[in-house]
Structure 1
């Protein structure tokens, strides 16, 4: 196992802010990106925490991403909002759009937010969890550059094309899941490669199209969708929703535009919010859904997604977070400019 370093959340936050500002982000953008990474670290979601900092800084350093981006919110239809991200990272654009999306969903029952000209490099659960904590159900979708071969193919075409869903549970932690349409998240493949661990067969193929347990071969070849054609269909759906529908790029287009600096490609995201109290079952929906959760979890071995993250969230303010020594050294070097 690699040597680790323990950091408090405040120490991790300070290092991230220093690194992002040293590489060209203003305080507003640095704070929004840092908040997303520290939320992941607090939940022990290592693949979307400070592990991503090097990519964020690389894209600032190369000039691909606008570190002083000022996202602009537009109202383009009764149920549709749009944020122009001004070529910046997604977190500040989400901070700009989510409050308005929540308010519109409360007014109308359902609303959608399209985010364009952004660089998304984080988990999707923070945006849908934010909506659930406001009493709304949320859906989020985003694409990336080509990493995943479609069913029957051997070359990267889709991004990992994740999706997230949340459901509010009054008085309880919301139901939240966040998953890639790939068999394994890209960051997890990269962490396996860093730590010298094998990946399960089905994760991906090598450059010659052969199944492999070597994460480095997968990174050089292509990842695979989960469930074969089923995951491939979902990846295509994400392309259409987060690219075609909102006027953003598809993954293959993002890959052609990208400068390959190690950071995120340009892309889009769509977030949909729904108010369960506005769909005709205002008095009963919450209790009815709690009965569903209770029925499922009464079976041995069944748990709801997100419980591990929520438990970690309560623990890490006291225990701190563990970073691999190599990652700590990288983060410290970035913070020192």
Structure 2
């Protein structure tokens, strides 16, 4: 059996490594820095599917034209609490970075704020956005779409992307409540990774090109993903689609070009709602901390706890990345 060799980086070293890699692909310094910080944060939290492995989607995207490596988002306002970002074919992360401080200020002034973004590459780690707002003392809900990958019950072909959603809220114990999940039974990047390693996938994740359930990851890539929970998951996908694509003016998943083939941007959408809890009820963070503690004592899983502790460990001990993956990315 082959032994995996790892290279250890400090967080800052990892950010520098990814930044230089992106700049070598023609990215502007701002695009490279934004993507590097998001990538390393995901890796440090143990969310490897959208960490360094996801760069294997970004780097060819810069070369092919699916991602504009120098796009500066066009930011505008619509009323007192809504910011709009046209990513102009670039990465999703930079639009959020450009609007983050304004969204925080607007939410603290008015009780809420919203970011509506269109025309970007896929969203990356959606939880990175909501967690940052929660760390600033705000509640955040984010939804995003992408090219159609999922076949819902009764549909003839793929209808939606994995259409992820993420929620985060600040807690007095210093560890925000956080979840970040696809509305499909599994994220596409996890199936793609299984295919690259020759691993099987669990039952219920996907169907092959003939619509038959499969555990073969390569057959799944030729077929379609499945929603979790059948029609219930499909309903959530439709809700996310309406908010992330319909409301933002982004491409519907059915109309979005592929994120890993061709030369066109998928033109994805992202919607983030930010709430200032003090406008709604006093003592929110303490109440949430007490409730989470009570639920934990009852055996309830606390979403996001492990990932945030992984981030703390990474700040102290650094992060490890497979040498083979680093070589693959360098060759790209």
Whether TM exceeds 0.5 here: the answer is yes
Question: For 1:239, what is the secondary structure of its paired residue?
Answer: helix
Partner of 2:125: 123
Of the structure 1 ranges 229-238 and 319-328, higher mean CA displacement relative to structure 2 is found in 319-328
Aligned partner of 1:96 in structure 2 is: 98
Equivalent pairs, count = 330
The structural deviation recorded for 1:56 is 1.0
Partner of 1:323: 321
8 A contact 2:257–2:265 mirrored in 1: no
Q: Which runs of 5+ in 1 are unaligned?
A: none
User: In the TM superposition, what whole-angstrom CA distance separates every residue of 1:194-243 from its partner, at most 9, and x where no partner exists?
Assistant: 22221110101011111111111111100000111111001111110011
Label 1:333 to 1:317 Cα distance change in 2 as closer, same or farther (>3 A). Answer: farther
Q: 1:214 to 1:262 in 2, by over 3 A?
A: farther
Name the TM-score, length of structure 1 as normaliser: 0.92
Specify the alignment match of 2:331 in structure 1: 333
Q: Does 1:138 align with 2:140?
A: yes
Runs of 4+ displaced beyond 6 Å: none
Change (3 A) 1:322 1:191: farther
Question: What CA distance in whole angstroms lies between the structure 1 residues aligned with 2:86 and 2:176?
Answer: 29
Residue pair 1:5, 1:328 contacting (<8 A) in 2 also: no
Structure 2 residue matching 1:153: 3-state secondary structure: coil
SS of aligned partner of 1:117: strand
How many angstroms apart in 1 are the aligned matches of 2:178 and 2:83?
23
Q: 1:207 aligns with which of 201, 205, 209?
A: 209
Task: Pick which of 109-118 and 222-231 moved more.
Answer: 109-118
State which of 66, 70, 73 in structure 2 corresponds to 1:64.
66
Partner of 2:85: 83
Q: Match for residue 234 of structure 1?
A: 236
Between 312-321 and 98-107, the greater mean CA deviation after superposition: 312-321
Cα deviation, residue 298, structure 1: 0.9
| 2:155 counterpart SS class | coil
Q: CA deviation at 1:171?
A: 4.3
Q: Residues 264 and 50 from structure 1, CA distance in 2 versus in 1: closer, same or farther, beyond 3 angstroms?
A: farther
Under a length normalisation based on structure 2, what TM-score does the superposition of the two structures give? 0.93
Structure 2 matches for 1:257-296, cutoff 5 A? Answer: 260-261=261-262, 265-279=266-280, 281-282=281-282, 284-296=283-295
Contact 2:134–2:170 (Cα < 8 Å) also in 1: yes
What corresponds to 2:114 in structure 1?
112
Instruction: Give 5+ residue unaligned stretches, structure 2.
Output: none
Aligned to 2:227: 225
Q: CA deviation at 1:11?
A: 4.0
Distance in structure 2 (CA, Å) of the matches to 1:311 and 1:286: 19
Residue 310 (structure 2) aligns with: 312
**Closer, same or farther: CA 170–30 of 1 in aligned 2, 3 Å:** same
